């Protein structure tokens, strides 16, 4: 990471994190561990204790909720361009004991397009996801998806009035790429043992997806 980006991250985080009681480098290390590896906050609390740093798991949670959305915003501005052939699917994330839906898309090379956590799995949620992904990455030429009627209805609604409609391909084997890609997210979120709020889930998942994108280049 270049020196300019490091200074930008530090200055931005210092504005977000008022009255720092820990060095910013320590906070960043803990948060990075949490979203990069299959660990719980209690694991990190124990690991930091072994290094002579006493920090409570609840404090670690507050750091993650504040820091991760800031990091995601900074790094997404540097995100590389992706292909115009998308593979889109949704997976399940448990929040307060209830299943919520993480919409995700990758291009045919497996590079992450975008993601969105939603409370419901319906046409409105799928349309919000597509609008978000298209706003950040441009319009796709074609989208492969499963047999979900809601996802197809969302693209049909977006296609209304378009000169060049987005082609939809509902072929299961084409979606193997994104279904396999879900595993990288699930591997990290499994030890987190259920998110306590939708807000914290959205913040942490932004960090998990960010680290997943960094791994993929």
**Tens digit of each residue's pLDDT (9 = 90 or more) over 176-204:** 999 999 999 999 998 887 788 999 999 99
Task: Taking residues 129-139, report their average pLDDT.
Answer: 94
146-180 residue pLDDT tens: 888 899 999 999 999 889 999 999 988 888 999 99
93 within 8 A of 101, measured Cβ to Cβ: yes
Of 151, 142, 75, 138, nearest to 108 by C-alpha is 142
Distances (CA, A) of 43 to 15, 30, 140, 177, 196: 28, 10, 41, 31, 18
Predicted confidence at residue 9, as pLDDT, reads 73
10 Å CB burial of residue 152 (0-12, 13-18, 19+) is middle
159 within 8 A of 165, measured Cβ to Cβ: yes
Sheet holding 167-169, edge to edge: 112-118, 98-107, 85-95, 142-144, 167-169
For the entire predicted model, the pTM comes to 0.89
Task: Report how far residue 111's alpha carbon sits from residue 115's, in angstroms, rounded to the nearest whole number.
Answer: 12
In the three-class reduction of DSSP (H, G, I as helix; E, B as strand; rest coil), residue 115 is classed as: strand
Task: Report how far residue 126's alpha carbon sits from residue 88's, in angstroms, rounded to the nearest whole number.
Answer: 10
Distances (CA, A) of 109 to 33, 87, 112, 176: 27, 10, 9, 12
Task: Taking residues 40-50, report their average pLDDT.
Answer: 95
Quote the distance between the C-alpha of residue 205 and its chain's center: 4
Within 8 A by CB and 6+ apart from 201, the residues are 93, 95, 100, 117, 195
Predicted confidence at residue 60, as pLDDT, reads 94
Task: Taking residues 26-42, report their average pLDDT.
Answer: 94
The token pair that represents 91 in the structure block:
């997976």
């Amino acid at each position: 990471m270049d020196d300019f980006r490091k200074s930008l991250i530090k200055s931005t985080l210092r504005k977000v994190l008022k009255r720092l009681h820990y060095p910013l480098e320590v906070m960043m290390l803990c948060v990075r561990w949490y979203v990069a590896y299959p660990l719980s906050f209690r694991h990190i609390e124990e690991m930091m204790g072994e290094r002579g740093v006493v920090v409570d798991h609840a404090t670690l949670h507050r750091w993650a909720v504040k820091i991760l959305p800031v990091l995601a915003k900074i790094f997404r501005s540097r995100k590389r361009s992706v292909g115009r052939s998308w593979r889109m699917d949704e997976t399940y994330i448990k929040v307060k004991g209830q299943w919520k839906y993480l919409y995700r898309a990758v291009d045919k090379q497996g590079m992450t397009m975008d993601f969105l956590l939603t409370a419901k799995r319906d046409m409105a949620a799928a349309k919000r996801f597509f609008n978000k992904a298209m706003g950040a990455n441009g319009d796709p030429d074609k989208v492969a998806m499963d047999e979900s009627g809601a996802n197809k209805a969302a693209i049909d609604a977006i296609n209304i009035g378009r000169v060049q409609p987005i082609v939809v391909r509902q072929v299961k084997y084409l979606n193997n790429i994104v279904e396999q890609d879900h595993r990288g997210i699930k591997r990290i979120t499994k030890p987190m043992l259920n998110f306590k709020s939708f807000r914290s889930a959205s913040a942490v998942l932004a960090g998990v997806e960010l680290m997943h994108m960094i791994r993929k280049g």
